[in-house]
Amino acid sequence: MFGWEFPPHITGGLGTACFGLTKGLVKQGVEVIFVVPKAFGDESKDGFRLVNASDVTLDFTQAWTKEHLERIQFMEIGSNLVPYLDPEEFETVVNKEVLTGIQETQSVFSKQYSFSGKYGPNLMQEVSRYALVASSIATTNTFDVIHAHDWLTYPAGIAAKKMTGKPLVVHVHATEFDRSGEHVNQPVYDIERQGMIEADLVITVSNLTRQIVIEKYGIAPEKVITVHNAVEPVDHPELSGVTKHVKEKVVTFLGRVTYQKGPDYFVEAAHKVLQRDSNVRFVMAGSGDLLNRMIRRVAKLKIATKFHFTGFLAGPEVDTMFAMSDVYVMPSVSEPFGISPLEAMRSNVPVVISKQSGVAEVLQHALKVDFWDIDALADAIYGILHYEGLSKMFIRYGKTEVDNLIWENAALNILEVYNKAVYK
Amino acid sequence: MRSICLYFQVHQPFRLRTYRFFNIGQDHHYYDDYQNRHIIRRVAEKSYLPANNLMLSLIKEFGSAFKVSYSISGTALEQLETHVPEVIRSFRQLADTGQVEFIAETYAHSLSSLGNKDEFVRQVELHASKIEELFGKRPTTFRNTELIYSDHIGEIVADMGFHTMLTEGAKHILGWKSPNYMYCNNINPKLKVLLRNFRLSDDLTFRFSNQEWSEWPLTTEKFVKWLNKIEKNEEVVNLFLDYETIGEHQWKETGIFDFFSHLPETVFSNSNFSFSTPDQLYHKLQPVSAISVPHPISWADEERDLTAWLGNELQDEAFGKLYSYEAKVRQCKDPEINRDWLYLQTSNHFYYMCTKWFSAGEVHKYFNPYGSPYEAFINYMNVLSDFMIRVDESLNVKEPSVQEAEPIPASKRKSSPVKAAVKAKKKPAKGVKKAK
């Protein structure tokens, strides 16, 4: 299995999902070799092997390396790219380095690569090198299926498949359309598409994403299978002491303040609710390229005394924020899955989510609205705040619903996909 | 001669429009006029009108041997009067044949029998008067919304002067007993009770067009063969159906019209059954025993209980809030408030809030205009909030002293007369919960 990150060293949902999934698979009796670009040594790895790509030595003198060079097409990519999910890095990363093609690649070939394992400016370079190392790992280990998570590892997956002939399963956690709207990064799109084409089967985290893969990447529907994400059951007993210091009800947006997450709809809905009921506070927790615009809009609407910005929250702060919230809102414009509503529900917070999120496909005890329908969004928030029956229902059924979305079940579905890929 | 009692329920609710919280206090129109008009016209065209014509022609053909009975809710009657008056005319024609019995129910097809006794009685009276006005005869038979029945409800119905009541032949109340006899109320034996034969009725309503069903296609010959299999001493087979079964739930293409048009003929030539109305059966049959129903039953779902309408937090809050205003609405003279009060009680609004069909239940989805029970609840509560404000304002203007001169509407809910009303109404609702 090729991943890019692994807890605790994660920047987005991908690492968490890979971790949960791997544990689920191990529980289903699957042996997993998980390859990450850089292992820090403190990763949790019960029951499976974590291979650090940085430890693998490539030796040019060996025959297989030459063979490998012949059989693998490197995907060289101009590197002025803004790579992955992390909002903090999303903003203004411009890479001044340019890959000079095969020559430079060869010049660093016969040594150990040190991968940063971060989503940085050298990302494209790392992706290529990771692919190279992947083929080495592929030939020195035995396995039945290659499983690659998101576009960063697709070249690695393809390389491994070319070297061994084993079936490749690519796992789409997000597409370039989710990250960038319609203005896609062509090289990233190309890698994604290439990975899906080379793959024997494609796993998507929701039917929403499946649709995108079929329609925008032109992949045959029968090759694309949805396996919904799950969550790790966690209890936060230490949070029982959290009290909020305002008497009003608190409605929370938590996530990157970017186009994809629909923060503007949250602000407009807040304005509508506040016109009717001043006994509410709204919180926007997170940062991103639209944050300043949101602050200006809140000021212009003159709701700033009831609408608060916390900036980026991490770890325990997130849990505290949930504990203080009466409603959690995720108005995402496009969300392949969206794990945060599940975390909110786990903390007994009722959620309003957009119908344009994959998680809406698996949740019943949540209010679902179209992200653009500000009236419906405002109405849903108002309903939860004012009609007691709703929060009672959500608290009664929501946590149970989330607790049942376990990785072991998702892993079972993945196992089916493996079987299909191997015995097809 | 044994009897088939063919009875049809005709009901359409006033569906609510999308009503946002910012409409509260400003906009007092609650109904989706377009949708309601569209649906009543469609159903009239596909079901009510052709089905009525079919019944008329059967009565012409077979005279007094063929009989049928209907209950038509007040909300359906009003919508028919407004949008498709020819359906009313056609029902009148049926009434004029003398072979058709019109049965009383609650005016708004409401759950008032579980919420408030006074309101229940008022609504039944209102409906009986409406039926008398339209079809010339005051009903003597009663059937409650969705066949909801309990010993206690039966007792109230008997006190109102009805002599017969229809309900579901639910397995869990019958045990080894057969539904194909006349029974009587457990508290007041004067009230005779007819029990729906759910197997044969559901063969028509649910299974008729199901090609997976081992008995598909269902012919009149096969159906009459089943009737003949019934023990010779059993007296009556009660086929209680939604009228929309003919032409709307089961489309014309399924052959449902052909089935009903050939049914009497096959019955008369191949069996010793004939058709009767509940009123006839009242005069003809003696109860074999009392039927004990301590907790309310209905004809809904496998459970035949009330959980389609009441029992989850959403339904209970909406239901409780609604009936907590009964005493106040009684004091209001405003005809629009009184009209909305009826329309808001219609059972469908609570049915839309049911959560038990999240996974299964295509039947329910088909009838539900909302994406989820939560949406249904929010919308209903928004409407109800506005309604409550109007009631309070209306009372404030007329009798400010009653409300202890409190200016804020919300605080009025706490005033004592209302509290007493809430308590009084909670009693039957508790029985409901135990029934689950």
Residue A99 in this model has a pLDDT that exceeds 50: no
User: In this structure, what DSSP letter does residue B190 have?
Assistant: T
- Which of the residue ranges A158-162, A186-190, A281-285, A315-319 has the most confident prediction, judged by mean pLDDT? A281-285
Q: Sorting pLDDT into bands at 50, 70 and 90, what band is A33?
A: confident
Question: A interface mutation test: which of B312, B378, B381 has the most A CBs within 10 A?
Answer: B378
What distance lies between CA A112 and its chain's CA centroid? 29
Would you place residue A98 in the very low, low, confident or very high pLDDT band (cuts 50, 70, 90)?
Answer: very low
Give the rounded percent of residues in chain A with a pLDDT score beyond 70: 77
For B61, list phi and psi in degrees, rounded to 5: -75, -45
pLDDT over threshold 90, residue A301: yes
Tell me which long-range contacts A318-323 makes (C-beta under 8 A, separation of at least 24): A318/A254, A318/A285, A318/A343, A319/A236, A319/A239, A319/A347, A320/A239, A320/A242, A321/A252, A321/A254, A321/A283, A321/A285, A322/A239, A322/A252, A322/A254, A322/A347, A322/A349, A323/A236, A323/A239, A323/A242, A323/A244, A323/A347
Which region, left, alpha or beta, applies to residue B352 given φ > 0 means left and ψ of -120 to 50 means alpha? alpha
What's the whole-number mean pLDDT along residues A186-196? 92
What is the predicted pLDDT for the residue at B358?
Answer: 64
CB contact B317 to A (< 8 Å) = yes
What is residue A347's predicted lDDT score, i.e. its pLDDT? 87
B308 lies in a domain?
no
Task: Report pLDDT for B285.
Answer: 96
> Above 50 in pLDDT, residue A223?
yes
For CATH 3.40.50.2000, the residue range(s) in chain A are 13-230+407-423, 237-403
Q: ipTM of this model?
A: 0.76
Say yes or no for a CB contact (<8 Å) between B382 and A364. no
Q: Is A383 on the interface with B (CB under 8 A)?
A: yes
* Helix (H) or strand (E) segment spanning residue A214: helix A207-216
Element holding A134 (H helix, E strand): helix A123-140
Same domain, B15 and B108: yes
Using left for φ > 0, alpha for ψ between -120 and 50, and beta otherwise, residue A146 falls in: beta
Residues B285 and B317 occupy one common structural domain = no
Please report whether residue B13 resides in a domain: yes
Mean pLDDT across the stretch A81-89? 34
Would you state the pLDDT for residue A372?
Answer: 96
Per residue, the 3-state secondary structure of B272-323, as one string, reads CEEEECHHHHHHHCCCCEEECCCCCECCCCCCCCCCCCCCCHHHHHHHHHHH
CATH class of this structure's domain A13-230+407-423: alpha beta
Higher-confidence residue of B92 and A56: namely: B92
Q: Using CB atoms and an 8 Å cut-off, which of residues 182-211 of chain A contact chain B?
A: none
Best A272, A393, A395 residue to mutate vs chain B (most B CBs within 10 Å):
A393
Cα–Cα nearest to A324, from A383, A264, A258, A247: A247
Which of A10-19, A68-77, A242-251, B344-353 has the lowest average pLDDT? A68-77
DSSP H or E run through B96: helix B85-96
The C-alpha torsion from A49 through A50 and A55 to A56, rounded to 10°, is: 60
| Whether residue B138 is found in the same domain as residue B279 | yes
Contact between A387 and B21 using a beta-carbon 8 Å cutoff = no
**The pLDDT of residue A295 is above 60:** yes
Structure tokens at B38: 């569209």
User: From the centroid of its chain, how far is CA B3?
Assistant: 23
For chain B positions 350-379, those within 8 Å of chain A (CB to CB) are 355, 358, 371-372, 374-375, 377-378
Report how far apart, in Å, the C-alpha atoms of A184 and of each of A82, A136, A219 are: 11, 32, 18
**CATH of residue B244:** 3.20.110.20
Residue A376 CA to residue A367 CA, distance in Å, equals: 10
**B228 and B131 share a domain?**
yes
CA–CA dist A42, A39 (Å, integer): 8
Residue B298 falls inside a structural domain: no
Is A382 touching B (CB cutoff 8 A)?
yes
Measure CA A223 to chain center.
Answer: 22
Has residue B300 been placed in a domain? no
How does the average pLDDT of chain A come out, rounded? 80
Chain B CB within 8 Å of residue A363 CB: no
Q: Please indicate, yes or no, whether residues B41 and B173 belong to a single structural domain of this protein.
A: yes
End-of-domain residue from the set B291, B324, B343: B291
The boundaries of the domain holding residue B388 are 313-435
* C-alpha–C-alpha distance, residues A298 and B285, integer Å: 75
CA neighbor of A200 nearest in space, from A228, A160, A229: A160
**Among A21-25, A146-150, A282-286, A379-383, the least confident range:** A21-25
Q: B251 and B370: one domain?
A: no
- What is the structure's pLDDT at B278? 97
* Cβ-based contacts of A367 with chain B (< 8 Å): 372, 374-375, 378
* The predicted structure's pLDDT at residue A317: 86
Q: B378 to chain A nearest CA, in Å? A: 5
User: Chain A window 233-272: which residues touch B at a Cβ cutoff of 8 Å?
Assistant: 272
Smallest CA-to-CA distance from B260 within B207, B215, B229, B218 is with: B218
Which pLDDT tens digit goes with each residue over A36-53?
A: 776 555 666 666 677 777
Task: Answer yes or no: do B133 and B24 share one domain.
Answer: yes
Interchain contact, A375 vs B372, CB within 8 Å: no
Q: A195 pLDDT exceeds 90?
A: yes
Top-ranked range on mean pLDDT: pick from A149-158, A238-247, B86-95: B86-95
Question: Are both B224 and B267 inside the same structural domain?
Answer: yes
- Whether A392 sits inside 8 A of B313 (CB atoms) is yes
Residues B270 and B330 in one domain: no
Model confidence at A60, pLDDT cuts 50, 70, 90, reads very low
Indicate yes or no: CB of A389 within 8 angstroms of CB of B372. no
Residue, of A83 and A30, whose pLDDT is higher: A30
| CATH number of this structure's domain A237-403 | 3.40.50.2000
Q: Do A386 and B375 touch (CB under 8 A)?
A: no
- Number of domains comprising chain B: 2
Tell me the pLDDT band of A104, cut-offs 50, 70 and 90. very low
- Calculate how close chain B gets to A389, using CA atoms only, in Å: 5
**Distance (Å) from the C-alpha of residue B42 to the closest C-alpha of chain A?**
29
* Residues B382, B264 share a domain: no
Q: Which stretches of chain B drop beneath a pLDDT of 50?
A: 360-361, 400-436
Residues B366, B431: one domain?
A: yes
In a domain, B9, yes or no: yes
Q: Per the domain annotation, does B233 fall within a domain?
A: yes
Mark yes or no for CB contact B314/A389 under 8 Å: yes
Please state which of the ranges A278-282, A403-407, B113-117 shows the lowest mean pLDDT.
Answer: A403-407
Burial B204-238 (b: 16+ CB within 10 A, else e): bbebbbeeeeeeeebebeebbeebeebeeeebbbb
B253 is catalytic: no
pLDDT at A108: 30
A284 to chain B, minimum CA–CA distance in Å? 23
